[in-house]
Amino acid sequence: MSATTKVGFVGLSATGWASRTLAPSLLRSDKFTLTAVSTTSEVSAAASAKKYSEELGHTVKPFYGNTSQIASDPDVDLVIVSVRTPAHKAAVMPVIEAGKDLFVEWPGGNGLEESSAIAEAARKKGIRTMVGLQGRQNPTIKKVKEIIDSGKIGKILSSSMVISKSKVHHLMKAPSYRYLHPTGAGLLEIAAGHQLSVVTYLLGDFASVSATAALHYPTATLVDKERKSTGKTITVSSPDQIAFTGLFKSGAVCSMSFRGGLKSTPGRKQLLWEIDGEEGSIRVEGESAFMNVREPQAFLNGELVEVENPAGMVDILASAWVEYAKGEKGNYTTMEDAVRLHRLIDAIKRSAKEGKRIQL
């Protein structure tokens, strides 16, 4: 990798998720230079390029439409793709074909088949990949891993996690696609997927799973950006309650429950996680279900674990870019990691549908 990696950013508009999170985390580092942006329209691409050209003090090129244009630009080494899940494969394949390194948001393809195809194409082309599963960069998670690896709680015997999410009756109009099952961006894929990434990072891969899923809220009312009802409803097919037990390859037992559709009430923790070892236990809890963007608290045998330099959302995301810049020595998630996680999610889905334990 050169001293400065030139970055083309697909899906970076002047406003929106990427402009508030991914872009600021990337631009903190002097290892990366934003040289181009690409969006779906000429107008939004021009607005984004203008914004970042002014902010950064150098020209940022605008592209729109097919990602082959930004991927083939000689001033781009790495392409970041932050678009809706159903568009992942179409957006990343031209990047891989152009031989450019790739970052793609989780889930890195709509399901196991697409994710596997992306990973295989990247492997054949010999490019580096990174996937937006940043939970391992959380300072609290790093501390928990340090404790586990040190042997302080002994051999891991079991892990129990409960994730709670508020009701989804009222949805922003733009992200409503997330609750339509075929899009691959439901509760299991996104909310559960990010946490499963952390669980397997700390405790290893699963050997088998047995799952149950239910849908308690089959319809949802759409709202506008001000959270006012549009009067329209959509049919929801993605489960809002998912529970499974599993066995890690280490022999430890796991139970996990992902609970959507809950009322937001005072005192409710969205994250409750207990890791039991032969010599002690670790408890992780937080107001947010997402360890990839929010920092929880950890307790070792009931005592609060002190974490140096507690991090916010952008800090956690920025840590991933620091690791990527280290090259082969960096600790970050790749498309290969994404495929393994998709296999686990696919097994959970199959188990819930078929009513039987699935071996991985």
* Residues 288, 303 within the same domain: yes
Q: What is the DSSP letter of 152?
A: T
> If you search the block for the tokens 């559709």, which residue do you land on?
261
Give the pLDDT band of residue 169 (cuts 50, 70, 90): very low
**pLDDT above 60 for 72:** yes
pLDDT at 175: 52
Whether 233 shows a pLDDT value over 90: the answer reads no
Other C-beta atoms closer than 10 Å to the C-beta of 219 total 10
Structure tokens at 216: 């308690």
Distance CA 78, CA 65 (A): 18
Given this model, what pLDDT does residue 180 score? 58
346 shares its domain with 211: yes
Mean pLDDT (the chain) is: 93
* Count of C-beta atoms within a 10 Å radius of residue 265: 7
Q: Does the pLDDT of residue 87 top 50, yes or no?
A: yes
Look up the domain containing 71 and give its range.
5-132
| Residue in the block written with tokens 């989780």 | 106
Residues 99, 172: one domain? no
Q: Per mean pLDDT, which range of 272-281, 282-291, 333-342 is the poorest?
A: 282-291
Indicate the helix (H) or strand (E) that contains 330.
Answer: none
Do 187 and 88 lie in one domain? The reply is no
pLDDT at 95 over 90: yes
Domain count of the fold of the chain: 2
Domain boundary among 132, 158, 188: 132
Q: CA gyration radius for the chain?
A: 21
The strand pair at 241-248 and 253-262 is best described as: antiparallel
Residues 77 and 203 in one domain: no
**pTM, full prediction:** 0.94
Tokens 């990527």 -> residue: 324
